């Protein structure tokens, strides 16, 4: 029996998307910038997808820019905003951002920008009052992850966005883990920019989007990183990946249709698994609980077991999960996210994550719990 519990890393492309991508590759291979029939047909595919992606977040389709995925969207925001200023200014990011935001921030910091890292509590939550206090005269961007990838914590994005709006500061959120799992409505959510990646919700890898609020566009808040053919309204030059974009659109449409039912199904499975694991001594849950946690997300550390060895043992038993620590130059690096949440180096080295998805059912949960008991309580 093989069980995939690493949907936070990537999801299997859904069969409907594979079929559509193959069809589009066969029959819509024209360059969308061309003026002839072939080009027009590709443009129609792209525009349909733009509507589908926009609908998933209740946006105007004008605001959707196709990119190669979450990393590019995050970089476009961090570097694109910075490039609008001739001299270094101030930005605020949370202490638990994905590296696609954290490393561009560090790059800017090394070049004289002032970066403030908004602290989080032990659940991984930022405090909106801290944000209010930290915004300065020269703050040009705030970027706070919507749902944290390692611990599943969902931030109070509405409050954070409102604070930025009141202070007239641009607000970006990386919604890569949240899309398709929690409802996102940019008409009521005060966000200026939002990052999306298709492979986290059953689209293909290497395609994603950046949502830009009309105000952001009007104010010319973002400089493009790629210059060339001026595709995607000049924000992202380069011939679009038509087939992958079509797949992203379909994945978005299906995610929207299934969101409510699938989220409540996954929440039940997640809570059932937490319940079945509760009697394992020394297995400690990390991150938030209930409403402020992603419906498909479980995370732990074990007081005695090396996290990476645990991931390997689970893999031998046919179950795919992931570890928060990384191997760098032969040494095991603790998860920087757990360290920022106040966990010790040992705990942060041994963190593990289980992320559920469409292919998981009750029997997978039961079996996973049995295997974890066998490994952790021999």
Stretch that binds ligand PLP, among 20-28, 172-180, 182-190, 345-353 (CB under 6 A): 172-180
- 8 A C-beta contact, residue 97 and residue 318: no
Q: For the sheet containing 208-212, what is the strand order?
A: 64-67, 208-212, 193-197, 170-174, 139-143, 90-94, 114-118
Q: Does 155 bind ligand PLP (CB under 6 A)?
A: no
- For ligand PLP, give the closer residue by CB, 177 or 360: 177
For residue 262, the minimal CB distance to ligand PLP (Å) is 19
For residue 253, the minimal CB distance to ligand PLP (Å) is 19
**β-strand partners of 322:** 353
For residue 296, the minimal CB distance to ligand PLP (Å) is 13
Q: Does 176 bind ligand PLP (CB under 6 A)?
A: yes
Among 6, 174, 262, 347, binds ligand PLP (CB under 6 A): 174
Burial 330-367 (b: 16+ CB within 10 A, else e): eeeebbbbbbbbebeeebbbbbbbbbbbbebeeebbee
Among 11, 139, 149, 216, binds ligand PLP (CB under 6 A): 149
Q: Does 100 bind ligand PLP (CB under 6 A)?
A: yes
With CB under 6 A as the rule, give the number of residues binding ligand PLP: 13
List 1, 215, 327, 377, catalytic entry: 327
- Quote the CA–CA distance of 146 and 179 in Å, as a whole number: 9
Q: In terms of Cα–Cα distance, which of 240, 306, 313 is closest to 48?
A: 240
For residue 152, the minimal CB distance to ligand PLP (Å) is 11
Please give the residues from 276 up to 335 whose contact with ligand PLP meets the rule CB under 6 A.
Answer: none
87: helix, strand or coil: coil
Which residue's Cβ has the minimum distance to ligand PLP? 70
- Quote the CA–CA distance of 83 and 249 in Å, as a whole number: 30
- 8 A C-beta contact, residue 58 and residue 186: yes
- Is 327 one of the annotated active-site residues of the chain? yes
Quick note: the x/- pattern for ligand PLP over 184-213, rule CB under 6 A, is -------------x----------x-----
- Quote the CA–CA distance of 213 and 63 in Å, as a whole number: 6
For residue 125, CA distances in Å to 103, 155, 232, 287 come to 20, 6, 34, 9
**β-strand partners of 118:** 94
- For ligand PLP, give the closer residue by CB, 252 or 371: 252
For residue 214, the minimal CB distance to ligand PLP (Å) is 24
Quick note: the x/- pattern for ligand PLP over 58-77, rule CB under 6 A, is -----------xxx--x---
**Four-CA torsion 220, 221, 227, 232, nearest 10 degrees:** -70
Q: Which residues bind ligand PLP (CB under 6 A)?
A: 69-71, 74, 98, 100, 145, 149, 174, 176-177, 197, 208
Catalytic center residues: 327
């Amino acid at each position: 029996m093989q069980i995939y519990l690493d949907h936070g890393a990537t999801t299997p492309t859904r069969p409907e998307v594979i079929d559509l991508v193959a069809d589009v590759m066969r029959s819509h291979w024209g360059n969308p910038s061309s003026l002839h029939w072939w080009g027009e047909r590709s443009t129609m595919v792209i525009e349909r997808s733009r509507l589908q992606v926009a609908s998933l977040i209740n946006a105007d389709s004008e605001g959707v820019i196709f990119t190669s995925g979450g990393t590019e969207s995050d970089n476009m925001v961090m570097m694109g905003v910075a490039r609008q200023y001739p001299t270094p200014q101030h930005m605020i990011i949370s202490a638990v951002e994905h590296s696609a935001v954290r490393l561009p921030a560090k790059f800017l910091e090394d070049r004289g920008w002032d970066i403030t890292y908004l602290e989080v509590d032990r659940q991984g939550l930022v405090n909106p009052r801290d944000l209010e206090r930290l915004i300065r005269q020269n703050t040009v961007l705030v970027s706070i992850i919507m749902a944290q990838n390692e611990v599943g914590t969902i931030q109070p994005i509405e409050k954070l966005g409102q604070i930025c709006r009141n202070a007239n500061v641009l607000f970006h959120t990386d919604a890569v883990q949240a899309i398709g799992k929690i409802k996102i409505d940019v008409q009521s959510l005060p966000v200026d920019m939002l990052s999306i990646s298709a492979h986290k919700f059953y689209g293909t890898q290497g395609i994603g989007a950046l949502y830009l609020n009309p105000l952001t566009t009007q104010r010319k808040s973002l400089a493009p990183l790629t210059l060339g053919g001026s595709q995607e309204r000049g924000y992202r030059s380069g011939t679009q990946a038509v087939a992958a974009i079509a797949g992203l659109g379909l994945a978005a449409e299906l995610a929207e249709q299934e969101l409510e039912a699938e989220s409540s199904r996954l929440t039940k499975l997640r809570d059932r698994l937490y319940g079945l694991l509760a009697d394992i001594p020394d297995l400690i849950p990390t991150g938030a609980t209930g409403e402020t946690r992603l419906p498909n997300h479980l995370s732990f550390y074990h007081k005695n077991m090396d996290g990476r060895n645990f991931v390997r043992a689970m893999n031998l038993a046919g179950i795919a999960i992931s570890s928060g620590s990384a191997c760098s130059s032969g040494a095991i690096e603790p998860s920087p996210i757990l360290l920022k949440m106040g966990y010790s180096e040992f705990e942060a080295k041994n963190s593990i994550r289980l992320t559920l998805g469409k292919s998981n059912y009750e029997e997978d949960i039961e079996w996973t719990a049995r295997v974890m008991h066998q490994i952790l309580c021999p």
